[in-house]
């Protein structure tokens, strides 16, 4: 099953979302001068808009990704609550809100100038969960068949020991977006999704401010402490999945340009829960949630990610041309599946039968073939100033259309040694002119030779074309 098939399964899922509901207010304007009364910028307001935040933003993304959901939470009994209700209806989200007249609805107001954040104002107090809320929670879980439960904890009072105890008795995987104030509640859930700072705070590490150089140890510590799988989000560094009884799985970021990180965590847990409910594989689900997050940070505010956006991005990301880091993760997963990974490399400047036969031979040596393709700069260094004839983008595009090749990656060194050390294939295929004194890496790999076909080389083809001109 590929990623697109997984996303298309979302429409058959039903997700239960419980947590702190927030009204996000965005004030947009321009700053052209500084206040003469105090050294602060003056925001000339152009427009104002409200968006669903917190657990409501999770529910919004569940629905925009094509699934059904039910949202349970608490608000005040005020105008902000009325705005939230209208937004939930507008987005076609099923909900049950308990209104607490003693506290205001949680509201975060953000002022932005030229899409840059200037200031945030928080209006909030802690809620108290009563027996009516707990009884409704039990009734909802008994009545509906949910594929997953998402706990969206912003530390405002909705998530309590009694609430989590009820959720743990329900037969569905629980996904938790944590807040440190409630860290004692999260043991024995299915997945916890902290950012790196939160992961350190969830652990017993003393230094909470510096990034950990031993993140693998941090992940293992959290797995043991909470008996849960851990997905650590790391901003521009992507994500790392720490899954029980498996090696850490690094997922590089795919964000093209970051405009706003508000609500990115809500998108991650929404897509993660939906994907897992559709394929029951945490690695694939984490990759999908990473792509969804990359779309979210390219938007201003808590704008949702839509199913068609995710599908389009996954089709683009699932192409054959990969980075070294992506291939390292792919190969690790393939080996876990007991697949044999084959590697070969070359310039492939003008594609000819010598190339296609080599690639067909290489593919037959294992399950998956990775091609290391020389960059333009490296070919010029190896072959001279008149080469390459075709640019690396054009060469990669042509080769990506060959069924024999599963993945392509570029390398600019004289030899692919560093690349081989990164991806560590089991089998390496070389042409008949390869000399054994040219090492192929320090790791153990079997080298298999494809006999050279006389007269079938790019250099001979170019010389023949010159002579015929």
- Residues labelled catalytic: 266
Q: What is the DSSP string of 263-293?
A: THHHHHHHHHHHHHHHH--HHHHHHHHHHHH
Q: Phi first, then psi: give them for residue 226, nearest 5 degrees.
A: -110, -10
* Alpha-carbon span 47 to 101, nearest angstrom: 30
Closest CA to 105 of 93, 94, 97: 97
H or E stretch covering 23: strand 21-34
| Upper half-sphere CA count for residue 459 (Cβ side, 13 Å) | 5
* Alpha-carbon span 434 to 103, nearest angstrom: 76
Instruction: Say which residues have a Cβ less than 8 Å from residue 112's Cβ, sequence separation at least 6.
Output: 26, 27, 28, 29, 118, 300
383 vs 290, 379, 409, 432, CA distance in Å? 40, 6, 20, 19
239: left (phi over 0), alpha (psi -120 to 50) or beta: beta
Q: List 152's β-bridge partners, or say none.
A: 19, 177
Q: Phi first, then psi: give them for residue 151, nearest 5 degrees.
A: -105, 110
Among the residues of 318-416, which ranges form H helices?
Answer: 324-336, 353-364, 376-383, 392-400
What's the distance, CA 288 to chain centroid? 6
Q: Determine whether 10 is exposed, middle or buried from the number of CB atoms within 10 Å of its CB (0-12, 13-18, 19+).
A: buried
* Alpha-carbon span 424 to 38, nearest angstrom: 60
Q: What is the CA radius of gyration of the chain?
A: 27
* Alpha-carbon span 21 to 75, nearest angstrom: 7
Q: What is the DSSP string of 60-91?
A: HHHHHTT-EEEEEEEEESSHHHHHHHHHHHHT
Q: Determine whether 212 is exposed, middle or buried from the number of CB atoms within 10 Å of its CB (0-12, 13-18, 19+).
A: middle
Q: What is the DSSP string of 162-209?
A: HHHHHHHTSSS-EEEE--GGGGGG-TT-SEE--BHHHHHHHTT-S--S
Residues in the chain: 469
């Amino acid at each position: 099953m590929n990623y697109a098939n997984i996303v298309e399964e979302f429409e058959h899922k039903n997700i239960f979302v419980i947590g702190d509901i927030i009204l996000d207010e965005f004030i947009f304007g321009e700053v052209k001068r500084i206040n003469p009364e105090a050294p602060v910028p003056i925001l000339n307001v152009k427009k104002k808009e409200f968006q669903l935040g917190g657990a409501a933003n999770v529910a919004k993304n569940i629905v925009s990704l094509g699934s059904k959901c039910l949202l349970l939470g608490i608000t005040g009994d005020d105008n902000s609550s009325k705005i939230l209700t209208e937004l939930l209806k507008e987005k076609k989200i099923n909900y049950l809100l308990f209104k607490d007249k003693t506290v205001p609805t949680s509201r975060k107001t953000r002022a932005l100038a030229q899409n840059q954040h200037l200031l945030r104002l928080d209006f909030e107090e802690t809620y108290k969960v009563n027996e009516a809320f707990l009884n409704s929670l039990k009734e909802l879980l008994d009545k509906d068949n949910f594929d997953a439960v998402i706990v969206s904890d912003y530390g405002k009072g909705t998530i309590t020991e009694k609430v989590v105890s009820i959720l743990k008795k329900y037969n569905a995987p629980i996904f938790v977006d944590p807040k440190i104030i409630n860290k004692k509640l999260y043991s024995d859930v299915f997945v916890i999704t902290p950012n790196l700072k939160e992961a350190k705070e969830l652990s017993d590490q003393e230094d909470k401010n510096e990034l950990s150089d031993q993140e693998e140890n941090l992940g293992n510590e959290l797995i043991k402490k909470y008996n849960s799988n851990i997905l650590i989000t790391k901003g521009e560094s992507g994500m790392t999945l720490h899954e029980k009884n498996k090696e850490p799985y690094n997922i590089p970021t795919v964000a093209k340009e970051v405009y706003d990180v508000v609500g990115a965590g809500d998108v991650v847990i929404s897509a993660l829960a939906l994907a897992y409910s559709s394929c029951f594989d945490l690695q694939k689900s984490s990759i999908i949630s990473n792509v969804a997050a990359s779309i979210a940070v390219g938007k201003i505010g808590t704008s949702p990610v839509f199913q068609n956006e995710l599908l389009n991005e996954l089709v683009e990301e699932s192409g054959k041309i990969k980075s070294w880091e992506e291939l390292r993760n792919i190969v690790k997963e393939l080996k876990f599946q007991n697949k044999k990974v084959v590697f070969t490399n070359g310039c492939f400047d003008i594609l000819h039968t010598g190339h296609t036969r080599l690639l067909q031979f290489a593919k037959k040596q294992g399950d998956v073939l990775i091609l290391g393709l020389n960059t333009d700069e490296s070919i010029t260094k190896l072959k001279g100033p008149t080469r390459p004839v075709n640019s690396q983008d054009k060469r990669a595009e042509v080769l990506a259309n060959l069924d024999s090749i599963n993945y392509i990656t570029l390398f600019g060194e004289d030899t692919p040694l560093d690349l081989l050390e990164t991806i560590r294939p089991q089998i390496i295929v070389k042409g008949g002119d390869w000399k054994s004194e040219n090492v192929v890496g320090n790791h153990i790999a079997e080298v298999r030779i494809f006999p050279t076909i006389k007269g079938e080389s790019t250099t001979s083809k170019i010389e023949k074309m010159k002579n015929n001109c």
